[in-house]
């Protein structure tokens, strides 16, 4: 989840690098013809070859490719970076959950996901700092067997939200719920409204996927748990306890919207939130599945680490078995 631009944030007198998003919401356009060069991407699942399968149980090989679409949570955000994937600016990783799933299924893998992608990048090219990614839907084909997708976080600008919440937390010395007050001023919860507005756009994306890959099983994968179930861990992650509760609620609303949209579209939804409770950004390095403001393992701030991606892959594989 969540496109980013490098931003410096001063915390207790020290500078920390945070990645932030700037995404313009757009409606989904009609399907396009596959972009030139896409068929060449349909090689064996070598991208995932260096990573162990995410689940020990044997899986029946698929008869068609696995295609990954979506944002940085799908791409894997550099853990480690796949140096052969184009464009490099999408920050795809062979340890991302779709690559692990394709490896476990012994399937051909087509990776179109890109860090910073939102709904509009499904039908429009995406410029990155290192190259341009074609419209993600152009990677689909009629023989695809499985499409994996995580999407929506960038469209509500969640990394920008976190940046705002951290700034407000510092100015309020870690007390109260200044971020919630900011986003609910005027009597309307701006973030909840963005989540609700995203449902129709996600439904259009799922419909477009089905049109291009009519025989594929479409699996919409939700976002894992980022925040503790009780208090936060200020100042390590400078978000007040009150705002941790507020942001956790927005995250659950986003997942609920994705689940409902998937059900209405006849797609599957995989809940990665519940299985990752207790592995949030405030946990120790050996326990957490999602990194905090200053990552302790190779990935972007507020993104799943290798353990988190493996946990997400395990949930997808379990869902496919049923």
138: left (phi over 0), alpha (psi -120 to 50) or beta: alpha
Q: Which long-range contacts (CB under 8 A, 24 or more apart) does 165-172 make?
A: 165/239, 165/243, 165/247, 166/9, 166/11, 166/18, 166/237, 166/238, 166/239, 166/293, 167/9, 168/243, 169/234, 169/238, 169/239, 169/240, 169/243, 170/10, 170/11, 170/238, 172/240
Residue 258 in tokens: 């994705």
Instruction: Find the catalytic residue in 103, 115, 163, 303.
Output: 303
**What radius of gyration do the chain's Cα atoms show?**
19
Q: Which residues, at least 6 apart from 251, have a Cβ–Cβ distance to it below 8 Å?
A: 223, 225, 226, 227, 273
Q: Are the C-beta atoms of residues 112 and 96 closer than 8 Å to each other?
A: no
How many helices, marked H, and strands, marked E, lie in the chain?
Answer: 7, 9
Give the side-chain half-sphere CA count within 13 A for 291. 23
Annotation says 210 is catalytic:
no
Instruction: Find the catalytic residue in 8, 46, 72, 93.
Output: 72
Give the side-chain half-sphere CA count within 13 A for 76. 31
Catalytic positions are 72, 303
């Amino acid at each position: 989840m969540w496109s980013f631009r490098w931003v410096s944030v001063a915390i207790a007198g020290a500078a920390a690098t945070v990645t932030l998003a700037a995404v313009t919401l757009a409606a989904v356009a009609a399907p396009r013809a596959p972009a030139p060069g896409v068929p060449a991407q349909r090689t064996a699942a070598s991208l995932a070859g260096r990573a162990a399968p995410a689940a020990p149980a044997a899986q029946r090989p698929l008869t068609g490719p696995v295609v990954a679409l979506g944002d940085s949570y799908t791409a894997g955000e550099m853990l480690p970076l796949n140096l052969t994937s184009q464009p490099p600016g999408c920050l795809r990783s062979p340890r991302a959950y779709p690559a692990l799933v394709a490896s476990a299924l012994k399937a051909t893998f087509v990776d179109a996901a890109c860090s910073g992608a939102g709904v509009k990048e499904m039908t429009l090219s995406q410029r990155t700092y290192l190259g341009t990614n074609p419209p993600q839907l152009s990677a689909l084909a009629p023989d695809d067997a499985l499409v994996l997708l995580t999407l929506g976080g960038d469209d509500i600008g969640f990394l920008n939200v976190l940046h705002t919440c951290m700034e407000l937390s510092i100015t309020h010395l870690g007390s109260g719920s200044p971020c919630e007050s900011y986003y609910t001023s005027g009597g309307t919860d701006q973030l909840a409204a963005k989540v609700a507005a995203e449902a129709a756009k996600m439904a259009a994306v799922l419909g477009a996927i089905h049109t291009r890959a009519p025989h594929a099983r479409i699996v919409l994968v939700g976002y894992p748990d980022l925040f503790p179930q009780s208090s936060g861990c200020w100042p390590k992650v400078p978000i007040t306890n009150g705002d941790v509760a507020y942001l956790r609620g927005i995250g659950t609303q986003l997942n609920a919207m994705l689940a409902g949209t998937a059900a209405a579209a006849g797609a599957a939804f995989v809940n990665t939130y519940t299985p990752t409770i207790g592995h949030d950004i405030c946990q120790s390095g050996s326990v957490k599945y999602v990194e905090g403001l200053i990552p302790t393992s190779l990935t972007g701030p507020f993104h799943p680490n290798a353990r988190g991606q493996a946990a997400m892959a395990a949930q997808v594989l379990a869902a496919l078995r049923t």
